[in-house]
Amino acid sequence: MEQPPSGDPPERFKTTRWTLVSEAADPQNPLHDEALAHLLALYRPALWSHLVNRRRIDPQKADDLLQEFILRKILLYNLMKHADRARGKFRTLLLTSLDNFVRTALGKHDPPEIPDGWDPAYRAAGPDQEFDVPWARQVLQETLRRMQAECRHSDRMVIWDIFESRILSPALEGAIPLGYDQLVARHELQSPGQASNLLMTSKRMFERNLRSVIGEYTEENEIDDEIVQLRQILSGAANR
């Protein structure tokens, strides 16, 4: 599977919930540029992956199309202004707009059928999976980046270290969680309660950052559902 080019997303700012989309939609808003850059950084990898892996567009061509889509539809047409939270998910609007744009740009021809010999996993993929899986990855990538930054800025890297050694590495790499004895020795912990407290704090911090990231593109009362959906997207994606 082609991987999107990576880049450092911009530092987050204070805003949460759907306000990011609203700010990005209003050129008069002082936070417009920052909000737009932030949204594009979040969504671009998923959009790119959709073009390359689902629509089978050459990576170089996908770059060009995406660039043009951003220029014409997002900047000039102000797609964000047409985002209506009552009408569905913001990412669905983006994806539909991109597909329409690409279809037009490629001469109104449907994308080519997947030929024999192509990775059969793509045949089984749902219509949005090539977008949703990279999107879910991006949400987690951003969540972890923010969590680590928060730990660093608040001089609490012990929380990050415990999270990484007990939860992150075991989940992502199958690493054996750092044992209690090692945790105590590494951080000079005074009691089991202190170890548990740090571990619980790290879990809560991860969840808070996850909710913050999700809250920037969805309504607050939909965050729980979105977490469940992201989990289903990733669980159902197998190793792709």
Partner 1 sequence: MSRPPTTHFDRDLAKTNPTDLAKLLALDPAISWSDDDLSAILRHQLLLPLHVELGPHLQGAIAADLRQSFGDLLTAKLPPLPLLRATKEFAKAHRSDPAALVPGDVATVLYYAAILAARLRWRAKISELPLPELLGGIEWALSRRWLAPSLISLFIEAKGILGVSDTI
Task: Please state, as a whole number, how many other Cβ atoms lie within 10 Å of the Cβ of residue 121.
Answer: 14
Contacting partner 1 within 87-116 (CB under 8 A): none
Under the binding rule (CB under 8 A), the answer on residue 154 touching partner 1 is no
Contact 93, 82 (CB under 8 A): yes
Region label for 27, one of left (φ > 0), alpha (ψ between -120 and 50) or beta (otherwise): alpha
CA gap 217, 2 in Å, rounded:
25
Instruction: Tell me the HSE value of 155 on the side-chain side, using a 13 A CA sphere.
Output: 0
Under the binding rule (CB under 8 A), the answer on residue 136 touching partner 1 is yes
Choice from 33, 207, 220, 225 touching partner 1 (CB under 8 A): 207
Helix (H/G/I), strand (E/B), else coil: 115:
coil
With CB under 8 A as the rule, give the number of residues binding partner 1: 56
Contact 143, 210 (CB under 8 A): yes
Under the binding rule (CB under 8 A), the answer on residue 7 touching partner 1 is no
Under the binding rule (CB under 8 A), the answer on residue 227 touching partner 1 is yes
Please identify, among the stretches 58-66, 70-78, 95-103, 185-193, the one whose residues bind partner 1 according to the rule CB under 8 A.
185-193
Q: Which is nearer to partner 1, 96 or 196 (CB)?
A: 196
CA gap 73, 45 in Å, rounded:
17
Binding site for partner 1 (CB under 8 A): 3-4, 6, 45, 133-134, 136-137, 140-141, 144-145, 148, 157-158, 160-161, 164, 167-168, 171-172, 174, 177, 179-181, 184, 186-197, 199-200, 203, 206-207, 210, 227, 230-231, 233-235, 237-240
